Structures are given as C-alpha cells and as structure tokens.
A and B are shown apart, each in its own frame.
Chain A
Amino acid sequence: MFRAVSHFAVLTSFLFALVATPAIALEIGEVFPAVNAERMDADGSLGMDSLRGKVVYVDAWASWCTPCRVAMPVLEDWHQRWAEQGFVVLGLNVDTDMKAAQVARKRAGVTYPIIHGVPDDTLMTLGMQTMPTAWLLDREGKVRMIHSGFRKADIEELERAITQVLEEQ
C-alpha cells in the first residue's frame, strides 16, 4: 500500500512538473505567431500578416520595465533609419495598467506601432523569459534572432543582425 501511494505521489508530481513547464516556446527559424491585437498608438488593430514582406523587430515591453524604456529611443531610431528598406519596429505592450503604458509611450516619443492586449496563452507560446524580449523576423516572418533584456552594449550586435537580415532579398 505504502509503495502504491508513493508511486502515485511521485507520478502526480511529475505530471504537475510537466504541465508547469512551457511545452511550446518559439525558436529561431520558426514563423512568429499570427498575432493580431489592438493598437495603443492609434485606432484599430494590427496583425502580423500585414507586416509580411518586411523585416520586423518585435519588442515586448512594459512601462514598469526600465530597460524597456531605455530601449525605446533606440528602437525609434532604427525604425526611422531603415524604414525605406522595409524595416518596422513593432512594440508589444504587456501592461495591465494602460494609463501607465500610454504615459511611458508618450514620454518616449516613439512613432512605431504598438499593440497591446495580446492574450496570455499567446504570450506563453513566445517563450519569454525576461523583459524586454525582442524577436527579429525576416521578410517571411521567421524568427532570426531572439534577444532577452536590453543594454546599450547590445546595440552594435543588434544593428549588425538587423542589417544582415535587411540585406537579404
């Protein structure tokens, strides 16, 4: 009896652990999910499908995340600099306090599109480990790079990766 109950406990704990581990996490080479969400910088919604054919830098951010706010002016610079070559920065805001998010957006003075209200289960599939997390997508929507966090020392490496993808036709 003791053995049977012990086996049951171990098995149940193992099953819990399996459920708790995110089974799906977006990896390099996979197509970014067809996210479609409301814009917070304008009326209407924006879907990933409408950005197909462009090189997209998806940046998951929140107003309470300091590195996210540090990144925003840099992303705005990239968005402007490479716009003619078909480069777009897409902000993916995860705030629950939309007022704070709007304040942060306005303060950063960014013009790139930002979506919000992406469901938790979709966010789970992205496999985010930290804030901010960014995904560089090629013109086919495939993930070419996943970047966790943001430090000014990362800028050079990120710019190199973006220009490399932009040069591909």
Chain B
Amino acid sequence: MIGETNKALVAATGMVLLGGCSLQPVQPWERGDLARDDMQWEAGLVEEATIRDHTYTSKEAASLSPTLGGGGCGCN
C-alpha cells in the first residue's frame, strides 16, 4: 500500500520531470534539423519503397515502375 507521502513524492517527481521537458523548446532555427530525413520516426520508409520498387522491376523484368502497364513479356 502506497502511503500518502509516497504518492505525493511520485506526483512531485512527475511534475518536476514534466517541467524539465519545457526547458528546451525547439527554436525556429532548429527546425531544419528536425525536418531531416534521418530525424523522422520512420526514416527508412521512402528508401524501403524505392528498394521494393527496384526489386520488383528487376525480378519481373518490367519496364518502368509497377504503376505503369506493361511487362517484360513484350506482349504489350
């Protein structure tokens, strides 16, 4: 059973930690760094799509991208 004092201590620690988050707000001149590809949550998403596309066109011997009609069979 957590005592009242311990609860208060946990709450206080939480508030102090949350307050600490506000110490370094992102400045306008720092936004360029945050916008970099390697700073994204899913940085590899575009690269992965490019690799998948490359693999598809290579394996299928398809012309251009998979979004276009036609293939390597020469039938259209």
- Report A's interface with B, CB cutoff 8 A: 1-2, 5-6, 8-10, 12-13, 15-17, 19-20, 60, 62-65, 94-97, 120, 123-124, 128-131, 133
Q: Using Cβ atoms and an 8 Å threshold, which residues of chain A touch B35? A: 64
Among A9, A65, A128, the residue within 8 A (CB) of B27 is A128
A15 to B20, CA, bound (A): 10
Given A5-B8, A13-B16, A94-B29, 9 more A-B residue pairs with CB atoms under 8 Å apart are A5-B5, A6-B11, A16-B19, A17-B19, A17-B22, A20-B23, A64-B35, A94-B32, A95-B32
B28 touches A (CB below 8 Å) = yes
Chain A proximity of B2: nearest CB distance (Å)? 12
Closest residue of B by beta carbon distance from A3: B8
Query: Interface size class for chain B?
Result: 20 to 34
* Contact A1 to B23, CB < 8 A, known contacts A6-B11, A9-B12, A96-B32: no
B38 touches A (CB below 8 Å) = no
A63 to B32, CA, bound (A): 8
Whether the Cβ atoms of B32 and A64 lie closer than 8 Å is yes
